[in-house]
Amino acid sequence: MAMRSLVINTGWNVIGQFLPLFVAVWAIPLLINGVGTERFGILTLIWAFIGYFGLLDMGVGRALTKIVADRHGACQTEEIETLEWTGLLLAVVPSVVGGILVACYASPIVLHVLKVSPQLQAEAATSIVLMAGALPFVVCTTIFRGILEGSQRFDIVNSLRIPFGLFTYLAPLAFLSYYTSLSVLVAVLVVGQVLGCVAHLWGCVRVQPSLLKKIVFSRNAAGQLLRLGGWMTVSNVLGPLMTYLDRFIISSLISLSLIAFYTTPYEVIIKFWIIPAAVCGALFPILSSKLATERENAARIYDVGTLATSSLMCLFMVGVVLFAQEILTLWLGVEFASKSADVLRLLAVGVALNTSARFPFALLQAGGRADLTAKFHFFELPLYIFSLVVLTSIYGITGAAIAWSMRIIVDALILFKFAKKLCPEIKSTVFHVIIVTISFVGAFVTAYAVAELIGRLAIYTLATMIMIIFIWKNTLTLSERTSLMLFFKKVSIGDGLK
């Protein structure tokens, strides 16, 4: 039953995140042509702002997902509304304070951190103030989404994610015909954030009609949420900070005009994270409710999710490494490809390894060891900042991509090691990370050594066949393989009769 829920909820998550990805691939070149590379670079920083500050929720969103899932699993739903309102009120206060601070320091950020060119400084400052005003709505949306995911209502979550994900790219594009001012485009995004927050509240009320009957704040509930969410807050702050820090370092050390050559492949390649995010989003509440009582079942579900998803993503990213030059040339032209191909290859390595790392991360937090993931981030942050500054100063945007991927390799190794300690029943270990890394070394060698496209296609085809065999033998039980073979046999017989 748990495996079935994982598959269904993963399917909802994939649908909800794939459609915005396709629209992004189409819309980004049009936005670059419409506003120019520097304005677009600032716009990508605004998108990063939305993604990052949505996680400044005191860890409450993630904690609510775990607690709500536990309560529903144990049929103890009488105090859920109290927990949810307490969590929402806990998260709103710091989001308001954070928004005020960001708005107050908008001009210094533009002048000294982003180093925006003089003609765009006013637009950039106004845009930052606008996004600061949207911060409470972004955080509330995160809380509401956590409630829905804990209730296993991924259908509602993704019914909302699709239209508002499309809005992020299509709305600025629609206004581009009339306004090229960055502040106008950001104002449109702010309206989308407000509407999204209201829509997610509606989704929660639909699941729990009693939610609006009484607003309650409980000290006991606050203590429970803060104890569980405190360490999650550290990870929620430091993890995304390390994810988005590279672009701010580039703008400070090199030039804001080069950000587009880094963030454009970055924004698209990280969209492939929708696959592991979809699986881990569905996996987290299942692990939260089963690790304490059904460890072997939890380990089986975890291993299947890890191996299947990591293998699939590794296959995709190896393809990106092999064909990065051709992909960027077809999509954005020769100039972009010449400056961004190596960046795209290096980022693909990091995306694949981060896919694997997401699973032990989810396991540790579901097992109540959010303190470990936070401590790992504390350890990694100064090392990452040092390597990022040094490598970016020497090698430019390629150096930033190297530092980003190196940090993810270290993160994955540490997470897998401690996940195995928490749950010895799991089979996915550090060896998994080593195998993935070796496969990418081979892909890099092939990309530079084999100039002919047909040769690289042949190698990739062979790698695909090997990966399919690996997934077939290592993620499915004998009974599952037998059932699939019977299914395909029936389908082929049916097609033959037709």
Reading the chain (498 residues) residue by residue, the pLDDT tens digits are: 556 666 666 776 777 777 777 787 788 888 888 877 778 777 777 667 666 666 667 677 777 877 777 776 666 666 778 888 888 888 888 888 888 888 888 888 878 777 777 887 888 888 888 888 888 898 888 888 888 887 778 788 888 888 888 888 888 888 887 777 888 888 888 899 899 999 999 998 888 887 777 777 888 877 778 777 777 777 777 877 787 788 778 877 876 667 778 878 887 788 788 788 888 888 887 887 777 677 788 888 888 888 878 888 888 888 888 888 888 888 878 888 888 888 888 888 888 888 888 889 888 888 878 788 888 888 888 898 999 899 988 888 889 889 988 888 888 888 888 988 888 888 766 666 677 767 777 776 777 777 778 888 888 888 778 777 776 776 666 666 666 566 556 545 544 444
Do 149 and 33 share a structural domain? yes
Q: Residue 420 and residue 44: Cα distance in Å, rounded?
A: 37
Examine the domain organization and report whether 228 and 331 are in the same domain. no
Q: Which two tokens stand for residue 345?
A: 């290859």
Q: Where are the alpha helices (DSSP H) in 450-477?
A: 453-475
The boundaries of the domain holding residue 138 are: 1-232
Do 479 and 381 reside in the same domain of the chain?
Answer: yes
The separation between CA 479 and the C-alpha centre of its own chain, rounded to angstroms, equals 33
| Domain stops at, among 232, 252, 279 | 232
Q: Is 337 within the bounds of a domain?
A: yes
Report residue 64 as tokens. Answer: 């609510």
* Residue 120: inside a domain: yes
How many domains does one find in the chain?
2
Amino acid at 365: Q
Please check whether residue 264 lies inside any domain of the structure. no
CA distance 101 to 129: 10
Q: What is the pLDDT of residue 430?
A: 64
Residue 96 in domain:
yes
179 and 67 within one domain: yes
Shared-domain flag, residues 321 and 225: no
Cβ atoms of residues 317 and 271 within 8 Å: no
Does any domain span residue 349?
Answer: yes
The reported pLDDT for the residue numbered 480 is 60
Same domain, yes or no: 152 and 57: yes
DSSP H helices in 291-396: 295-332, 334-366, 370-395
Q: Which amino acid is at 162?
A: I
pLDDT for position 7: 65
User: Distance between CA 350 and CA 411 in Å, rounded?
Assistant: 10
Q: Do residues 353 and 437 touch, judged by C-beta distance below 8 A?
A: yes
Longest alpha-carbon distance in the chain: 72
What is the predicted pLDDT for the residue at 199?
94
Q: What number of H helices and E strands is found in the chain?
A: 18, 0
Q: Which residue reads 């499915």 in tokens?
A: 476
Residue 262 domain-assigned?
Answer: no
Residue after which a domain boundary falls, among 232, 250, 274: 232
Same domain, 361 and 485: yes
> 206 and 349: one domain?
no
51 and 169 belong to one structural domain: yes
Last residue of a domain, one of 216, 232, 248: 232
pLDDT of residue 496: 46
First to last CA, the chain: 35
Burial of 112 (0-12, 13-18, 19+ CB in 10 A): exposed
Burial class from Cβ neighbours inside 10 Å (0-12, 13-18, 19+) for residue 252 reads middle
- CA separation for the pair 50, 59 (Å, rounded): 16
pLDDT of the residue at 495:
47
Domain assignment present for residue 118? The answer is: yes
Q: State whether 36 and 104 are in the same domain.
A: yes
Q: Give CA–CA dist 336/258, Å, rounded.
A: 11
Q: Answer yes or no: do 227 and 295 share one domain.
A: no
Closest CA to 303 of 388, 408, 381, 419: 419
* Token couple for 199: 């829509």
The answer on 357 and 221 residing in a single domain is no
User: Residue 401 is encoded by which pair of tokens?
Assistant: 């991509």
AA letter at 221:
A
Is 226 within the bounds of a domain? yes
